[in-house]
Amino acid sequence: MSSSFGTLFRITTFGESHGPSVGAVVDGCPPKITLSEADIQPQLDRRRPAQSRLTTTRNEADRVSILSGVENGKTLGTPISLIVKNNNQRTGDYQQIHSVPRPSHADYTYQMKYGNRALGGGGRSSARETVARVAGGAIAEKLLYEDCGIEIVAWVSNVYSIEASSIDIMGITRTDVDRSIVRCPDSDTSEKIKEAILEAQKAGDSLGGIITCVCRNLPAGLGEPVFDKLEALLAQAMLSIPATKGFAIGSGFACSEMRGSAHNDLFIKKGDRLGTKTNHSGGVQGGISNGEPVLFRVAFKPTSTISLPQQTVDFNGNDVVLEAKGRHDPCVVPRAIPIVEGMTALVIADLALRQKSR
Amino acid sequence: MSSSFGTLFRITTFGESHGPSVGAVVDGCPPKITLSEADIQPQLDRRRPAQSRLTTTRNEADRVSILSGVENGKTLGTPISLIVKNNNQRTGDYQQIHSVPRPSHADYTYQMKYGNRALGGGGRSSARETVARVAGGAIAEKLLYEDCGIEIVAWVSNVYSIEASSIDIMGITRTDVDRSIVRCPDSDTSEKIKEAILEAQKAGDSLGGIITCVCRNLPAGLGEPVFDKLEALLAQAMLSIPATKGFAIGSGFACSEMRGSAHNDLFIKKGDRLGTKTNHSGGVQGGISNGEPVLFRVAFKPTSTISLPQQTVDFNGNDVVLEAKGRHDPCVVPRAIPIVEGMTALVIADLALRQKSR
Amino acid sequence: MSSSFGTLFRITTFGESHGPSVGAVVDGCPPKITLSEADIQPQLDRRRPAQSRLTTTRNEADRVSILSGVENGKTLGTPISLIVKNNNQRTGDYQQIHSVPRPSHADYTYQMKYGNRALGGGGRSSARETVARVAGGAIAEKLLYEDCGIEIVAWVSNVYSIEASSIDIMGITRTDVDRSIVRCPDSDTSEKIKEAILEAQKAGDSLGGIITCVCRNLPAGLGEPVFDKLEALLAQAMLSIPATKGFAIGSGFACSEMRGSAHNDLFIKKGDRLGTKTNHSGGVQGGISNGEPVLFRVAFKPTSTISLPQQTVDFNGNDVVLEAKGRHDPCVVPRAIPIVEGMTALVIADLALRQKSR
Amino acid sequence: MSSSFGTLFRITTFGESHGPSVGAVVDGCPPKITLSEADIQPQLDRRRPAQSRLTTTRNEADRVSILSGVENGKTLGTPISLIVKNNNQRTGDYQQIHSVPRPSHADYTYQMKYGNRALGGGGRSSARETVARVAGGAIAEKLLYEDCGIEIVAWVSNVYSIEASSIDIMGITRTDVDRSIVRCPDSDTSEKIKEAILEAQKAGDSLGGIITCVCRNLPAGLGEPVFDKLEALLAQAMLSIPATKGFAIGSGFACSEMRGSAHNDLFIKKGDRLGTKTNHSGGVQGGISNGEPVLFRVAFKPTSTISLPQQTVDFNGNDVVLEAKGRHDPCVVPRAIPIVEGMTALVIADLALRQKSR
């Protein structure tokens, strides 16, 4: 297990999907930041199940409590512990999986790794674990916003090949994003994505998608070469989110089709700093932020839990047809938005503190 | 700076591009592994500049010396230090860049971060730093191969939209790869890529590309959820390599266009273990290896150094036309193969030791 | 803040003295260890306040709850979170200290470090924080005992110059220790220490003391030179406990008065292993356990909180006479026994896992 | 192996006693510090063997070279690698120890831990490894002195019960210390210690001793509770030095004989800050520096290598009389002074950077 992330601003998460609670300890948050549960709850609400008819019916209020590290509304500089109760566990749904590893789930690999595993739902491999990341990420965001006005906004840019048309990355807000039930701020595309998800849901199937995230107002200088480059830590952070299969910054994989003369971001004067004319770099050069918006994309696979019967084998290798009963989202990207934002905030808060020590 | 990577098998690298040497300390390598410079040199030779007319003319023999940690041909379990001398520094080439940050290079961001920077070439941001990674990675590979026959092979699968046709991922070897001057094991494509690179070189321009890497014979159980998942550490490792813009495992970004019923990897019996029928997962589930080949792709941007004149600004914001004189590769992917392999080996060796402690 | 300890077996603690709760997350505990609250509670009971008339009257039941990481009585290999509620906070006692830093307490240094501090009691600097260490340590002990029969026993060997006569370090048990109200297993000395503490209590004063700890059945080979030597990590662990001023292993400071010919531990045959005739080394050589009992001593200062009036200054430098009202132990060593044992277990569990990876 | 120390200012050491070289990589040193070999060499010269007739005759010039991280006399913020060649290896001296583990050396424990060990001298367990620490520590000292005038001075306060009389801890300098061949700045005691060491040397025996260290001008606020308290990291640092058996800060073990009313350090006004009247705390409260001098003591055992014959057993348990031939110091404390100072500087530099990030 490796349940901690960050060097100076450091989160440690705990909790199984169907245990009594999930939570986090955030160590290294500077003192005297104004903080209460009200700063954290909105992002948890955006991640909450049962928030629309497109999401799982598991009903969790996901109310966060701060157990330490804050007194009289201000952080103390000591570890902030956060807890969210699980109310709607339903381990009975998972009886068949005791003997049958669900395809593309982690039942088989956890069993091989630990020789033991949580039998209710996915235990630690469940997306429920990300509640803790979202809560911790909200604290990181508070710090970043108060400190230097850093803003992080993610949205659904693609589901099942339905792609959002160009978004104004300097102007887009979470309010814009949340106007769409599928969190795609291009209303035409949003409607098409909604239809596609509903259809998949009806068919007992699921869909993959892509989230794009922008991080604005980042000062130049964040990122710790050579191994903790900004894009390297973002990549780790994103690929640590359940169901992700790819990460791309700036031009991403399209860079492989370009010439240097087209890809290079020429410098221009922007007020009293240097900026770049284009942003194929995605806001980083040599692993360090350059003052331009950091822009990246994350690919999410279709939900592994589907209602359609699957021809697979049990742990003993015997043929079996699996028909899942667990509650699930037909497409995870709408609810993954605050997870991507939270992990981004955790990466940047840590790098900001590391740079401050210099 | 963050120049160390790994928890138990841990590399620390040092050295600037135009300083006296580059090197690494590898701490945590188990004792009694047979090891000499001869185990390390072949991968350095594959990374070496001036190895073909498609690469930079900077001429470095890149001979590695082991300074500690090995006695009588066996590792002691103590830190192994590795050193490679720089012989062909030519800092005079870089005079203009004292005042002009090269577009899409790290001159500007290093200056903003540190208020200081190496004036000869890119210092630590230069790809020369990866010599140390390749050397350390070769030790990790030795350990993995001796311990459980793990094999890592990377190849060029794409340059400037010229894509290799399907490769036999179970059979491909480094010998196959090295038959091609551009390290693309599909001979038709290899020829086309070579032509494209030569043409770009002649034009004073550069090209991007994609490397695919397979890791075979990995036992099930490697990867440390929730933050040090196998794919998360691979993503960090790859995005920490200079010039990378994207990482994708298994189905990668294409997963966003799929339905769960098509994407799920159904289990089947494979001898005395469970395997999967398809491998959209890329050998991992829930962040843990499942015994199938680990397969991933890494996108490299076109080399930032080009000979074509570039209209940019100097550090003071004054317009300037930059014409690069530094030696460079017109396309980095052929020489990046051993870097991708080395970083992969470092990730897996660390995870293998961490799993052993359980 | 640095609230985590350990590399593979890793504890993270949280909670202020007068907040709602204190707790810990233990990450890296191997799977399939039998574990329940009943394994942890006994050590918490030994640390509990109000357990005798020699301890503070703050009354805390200190009941531990496991919130994650255990299912059906077995560890899952996932993070184990532990929580203990604070019931008997009494922040009113601490009004004067808002403006007056208590001598030899951490009020002043926390304020200087964080520009903020918990106003009720000592916040994180209070010994209440050690509840979390004792709870986590009990899990480490379980693992060590089940794995290889390692036993850790600490006792009070000295209070205010009253020194226990020789103790049988191979035979002593916690039951022997607990027979004494002051946890000194030499009954004559125990009685004298009790009298001394009662007298100090009556006088509104406090006393210092020394705890000795033995760790038996440790296999040879634990300890990670050169910086994480067994004695180095024990020293860190012990000096991280509130009120400690010194650590000594084996011969300790007395070694400075010896000749090498007397101090060297000659090897002898002990069954099928090598042992040593004497144990001035305290069970370690070169930072690695040698199979002999690990034996060390820890010095605790007299409790800083005393009822006697103290002539000091407030935060503004104005003269003031401080008369403490907070509840406190007149001598901390009897209750510090399980803290020393717990921290020892945490050090050894981590080193045992690290050695296993080799 | 754990060859790295520090979180932000981080040293990694390498090299065996009788290999080609020893060295270090210092990562995290801030940029723009003036640095050259001349800043490092003086402390190496104080640690150098063969510097007087009281030390080993192994003759090493111990010239340090900086291989990276510095350009034009200024640090770049990138890893600084340091190397010192071994010139006077003499592995022939160690032939008997191939089969006989030297008493109170690490031959036996390294063999048990690694199943392998360096056969020439002690390999990594040799005090030769500390060359790297002294070199790295000198860089840390430079930073601390330039940044805020922090001064670290250590001296020999005790050898074989001969104790230096009171030293002026605010005034003492390294020049004062080096006036004495045994580095005891009290000239009467110095003479007696010299005689005692010469006598032990003649007898083929060795002596233990105590080093006291003061750290002046430390600002209040350094130290990271709860596990990386200033005294906890100092304790780890000191106990990681070969041959140490104890660490005590401020009142140390004597605190166990005191009452709180005598031990408490009452606050007084000192200029525009608060100070304390006494300094039993040794400059720390709650693990954080309080602005008073940090004062601690470290116990060193008598050198394990002695010329007197020793009745011991070989690795197979057969009786054998060992007569050491290796060159050695009859008492290590005079040469350990720069090691203690170096490790202190490494601890404080790291904590200073960590505090700066807040």
Rounded-to-integer distance, Cα A112 and Cα A103, Å: 15
| Residue C30 with chain B: CB contacts under 8 Å | 358
pLDDT at residue B220 tops 70: yes
Average pLDDT of the segment spanning B86-115: 83
Q: What is the 3-state secondary structure (H, E, C) of D224-282?
A: ECECECHHHHHHHHHHCCCCEEEEEECCHHHHHHCEHHHHCCCEEEECCEEEECCCCCC
Cβ(A281)–Cβ(B104) below 8 Å: yes
A230 is written with which tokens? 């900004």
Mean pLDDT of the D45-74 span:
89
Among candidates D1, D71, D72 on the partner chain, residue whose Cβ is nearest the Cβ of B27 = D1
Residues of D with Cβ-Cβ distance to B28 under 8 angstroms: 1
Please tell me the predicted confidence (pLDDT) of residue B328. 80
Residues of chain A with pLDDT under 70: 1, 89-97, 120, 325-327
* Rounded distance between C-alpha atoms, residue D353 and residue D341, angstroms: 18
B contacts of D120 (beta carbons < 8 Å): 71
Residue type, D319: D
Q: Is C8 on the interface with A (CB under 8 A)?
A: no
Q: How far is CA B162 from CA A21, B68, B176, B207, C357, in A?
A: 51, 44, 19, 11, 44
Nearest C-alpha neighbor of D113 from the set B32, A75, B150:
B32
3-state secondary structure of C32: coil
What confidence tens digit (pLDDT) does each residue in D265-282 have?
Answer: 999 999 999 999 999 999
Does residue D7 belong to the interface with chain A, where contact is any CB pair within 8 Å?
A: yes
What six digits make up the tokens of A247? 């990460």
How does the average pLDDT of chain D come out, rounded?
A: 94
pLDDT at C248: 98
Q: Do C28 and A1 touch (CB under 8 A)?
A: yes
Banded pLDDT at B18 (limits 50, 70, 90): confident
- Tell me, yes or no, if A275 comes closer than 8 A to chain B by beta carbon: no
Give the C-alpha separation, B17 to A208, whole Å.
Answer: 43
State pLDDT tens for residues C117-168.
988 678 899 989 999 999 999 999 999 999 889 999 999 999 999 999 889 9
Distance of CA C79 to CAs C4, C37, D327, Å?
A: 13, 15, 50
Tell me whether B202 touches chain A (CB under 8 Å).
Answer: no
Q: How confident is the model at residue B94 (pLDDT cuts 50, 70, 90)?
A: low
Closest CA to C8 of A4, D226, D27: A4
Between residues 297 and 356 of chain A, which touch chain B (CB distance below 8 Å)?
297, 299-306, 308, 310-313, 315, 317, 355
Residues 181-200 of A with CB under 8 A from B: 200
Q: Per-residue pLDDT averaged across D87-108, rounded?
A: 79
Sign, CA torsion A138/A139/A142/A144: negative
Residue C182 with chain D: CB contacts under 8 Å = none
Which H or E run includes A84?
strand A80-85
- Smallest CA–CA separation between B187 and chain A, in Å? 20
Q: Is A65 exposed, middle or buried (0-12, 13-18, 19+ CB in 10 A)?
A: middle
Q: How many percent of chain C have pLDDT more than 90?
A: 84
Question: Which of D25, D226, D321, D347 is the best residue to mutate to test the C interface, defined by the most C CB atoms within 10 Å of its own CB?
Answer: D226
Q: Which residues of chain C have a CB within 8 Å of the CB of A71?
A: 16, 19, 118-120, 123
φ, ψ of residue B60 in degrees (nearest 5): -130, 130
User: Is residue C319 predicted with pLDDT exceeding 60?
Assistant: yes
Instruction: State residue B223's pLDDT score.
Output: 98
- What residues of B are in contact with residue A313 (Cβ under 8 Å)? 267-269, 274
Give tens-digit pLDDT for C24-82. Answer: 999 999 999 999 999 999 999 999 987 888 877 777 889 999 999 999 999 999 999 99
**Residue D97 vs residues D91, D120, D206, D307: alpha-carbon distances, Å:** 11, 9, 19, 14
Is B166 in CB contact (< 8 Å) with chain A? no
Distance in angstroms (rounded) separating the CA atoms of residues D148 and D166: 27
Assess D224–C contact: CB distance below 8 Å, yes or no. Answer: yes
Reported as a pLDDT band with limits 50, 70 and 90, residue C91 is low
To the nearest whole Å, the CA of C39 is away from the closest chain B CA by 21
Q: Domain count of chain D?
A: 1
CA distance B246 to chain A (A): 4
Q: At D24, which helix (H) or strand (E)? A: strand D21-27
Residue A33 sits in which domain range?
A: 4-356
Helix, coil or strand: residue C77:
coil
What confidence category does residue D119 fall into, taking pLDDT thresholds of 50, 70 and 90? confident
Residue D50 is predicted with a pLDDT of: 77
Q: Chain A 128-157, CB below 8 Å of chain B: which residues?
A: 129
Neighbours of chain B (3+ CB pairs under 8 A): A, C, D
Rounded Cα distance between C231 and D246, Å, is 9
C-alpha to C-alpha distances, D79 to A157, D147, D353, nearest whole angstrom: 40, 19, 16
Q: pLDDT per residue over D127-186, tens digit each?
A: 899 999 999 999 999 999 998 899 999 999 999 999 998 899 999 999 999 999 999 999
| pTM score of the predicted model | 0.97
- The Cα C278–Cα C276 span in angstroms is 6
B7 interaction partners in chain C (CB closer than 8 Å): 7
Residues C54 and C353: beta-carbon distance below 8 Å? no
> Which pLDDT band holds residue D306 (cuts at 50, 70, 90)?
very high
List, as one string, the DSSP characters of C214-242.
EEESPPTT--BTBTB-HHHHHHHHHHTST
In A64-83, the residues whose Cβ lies within 8 Å of chain B are none
pLDDT in tens, A230-286: 999 999 999 999 999 999 999 999 999 999 999 999 999 999 999 999 999 999 999
Neighboring chain A residues of D7 at a CB cutoff of 8 Å: 7
Size of interface A-B (CB pairs under 8 A): 372
Q: Are A343 and A238 in contact (CB under 8 A)?
A: yes
Residue B205 Cα distances to B196, B197, B208, angstroms: 11, 9, 11
Position A92 scores a pLDDT of: 57
Minimal CA–CA distance to B211: which of B6, B17, B47, B44? B47
CATH number of the domain enclosing A83: 3.60.150.10
Kindly determine whether residue C77 and residue A32, on different chains, have CB atoms separated by under 8 Å. Answer: no
Is C25 in contact with A25 (Cβ distance < 8 A)? yes
φ, ψ at B247 (rounded to 5°): -135, 135
